[in-house]
Amino acid sequence: MPPVELAEAPTGSRQFSPLIPGSGKLEDQAGGSLTEMVLLAPPGTVERRYTTALALKALAPGGRLTILAPKDRGGSRLAKELKGFGCDLSETSRRHYRICTCERPAQLTGIEEAITEGAPRYDESLGLWTQPGVFSWNRLDPGSALLEQNLPALSGKGADFGCGIGILARAILKGPGVTHLALLDIDRRATEMAARNIEDQRAEIHWTDVRSGLRLSGLDFVVMNPPFHDGGAEDQSLGQSFIRKAAEALRLGGVLWLVANRHLPYEGVLKPLFKRVTPKVEAAGYKIYEAQK
């Protein structure tokens, strides 16, 4: 969310963030249908240009755009990018943010190219559908790869917490003993890509926040590579919350398979919640645990 003291959203405005479950989809908003928009710009160049282009396209000519970002996370590039789209703008700086305001010009330039560049794509090297902005969107995350290589054949019903584009879920579903797999992710784009990548009737995909959304119970297994960054800053409480939710969702005797960066102190959360916590693999800066409830 944009810091309210820097850029307050208009009263009655609609949320379009792909990271807030239940929000609208900016890609589906009719062109020229909005009069004002406030946008916290993403840090990645391709994703930022894509989102900015979608916002400008959705605004009516003369509609007002306020766009901001931390200076070191794309803010310093906002003015140049807006000018490249044909916008005349004003720019201010507050609290290490760059804040740009402009009216949507009658004639935009380069909009469709930016939208095409940031849209979903099939990545030949991954063999999967993906989209800029999704976690590890153009490479195989080494933690997930390590967990995939060391997962045993699972069975029963389970869940993939923070499923991303479906890399671990595809590996899980190779097991014939798996009867149902819930895939959960807070990023709408990730769940949309997972839906493209997984054609299996046993899979059920949910756009939700693992910490507060869908409530699961009686699971035989949970698999996860939990996040530990929020807004670019390390936040160990994210992974800790995932572990607690896994313990709530598992049946007695159910198992959690977890991969994490070596430096993250998850043992202190795991041990009170599970009767057996077993380190399985440690390699390339990552560690894998099997924990039985």
pLDDT confidence of 230, banded at 50, 70, 90? low
Same structural domain for residues 285 and 140? yes
Q: Among 94, 118, 142, where does a domain finish?
A: 118
Per DSSP, the three-state class of 289 is strand
Same structural domain for residues 142 and 254? yes
Same structural domain for residues 100 and 125? no
Q: What is the pTM of this model?
A: 0.94
Same structural domain for residues 153 and 212? yes
The per-residue pLDDT for range 69-123, each reduced to its tens digit, is 999 999 999 999 999 999 999 999 999 999 999 999 999 999 999 999 999 999 9
Rounded to 5 degrees, φ, ψ at 39 are -130, 120
Which token pair is 241?
């919350």
Q: Among residues 82, 144, 85, 155, which one has the least CA distance to residue 113?
A: 85
1 within a domain of the structure (yes/no): no
Tell whether the model's pLDDT for residue 229 goes beyond 60: no
The per-residue pLDDT for range 138-195, each reduced to its tens digit, is 999 999 999 999 999 999 999 999 999 999 999 999 999 999 999 999 999 999 999 9
Same structural domain for residues 173 and 268? yes
Q: What mean pLDDT is reported for the chain?
A: 95
Per DSSP, the three-state class of 95 is coil
Higher pLDDT, 131 or 236: 131
Q: Rounded to the nearest 10 degrees, what angle do helices 111-118 and 45-58 cross at?
A: 130
82 within a domain of the structure (yes/no): yes
Q: Among residues 232, 227, 229, 180, which one has the least CA distance to residue 206?
A: 180
Question: Which residues span the domain enclosing 129?
Answer: 121-292
Mean pLDDT lowest among 173-182, 193-202, 230-239, 284-293: 230-239
Contact status, residue 142 vs residue 165, Cβ threshold 8 Å:
no
- pLDDT for the residue 232: 60
Q: How many domains does the chain have?
A: 2
Q: Give the Cα-Cα-Cα angle 143, 148, 154 (nearest 5 degrees).
A: 135
- pLDDT for the residue 233: 63
Percent of the chain with pLDDT over 70: 97
Neighbouring residues of 5: CB distance < 8 A, sequence distance ≥ 6: none
Same structural domain for residues 171 and 267? yes
Q: Please state the length of the chain.
A: 293
Same structural domain for residues 258 and 207? yes
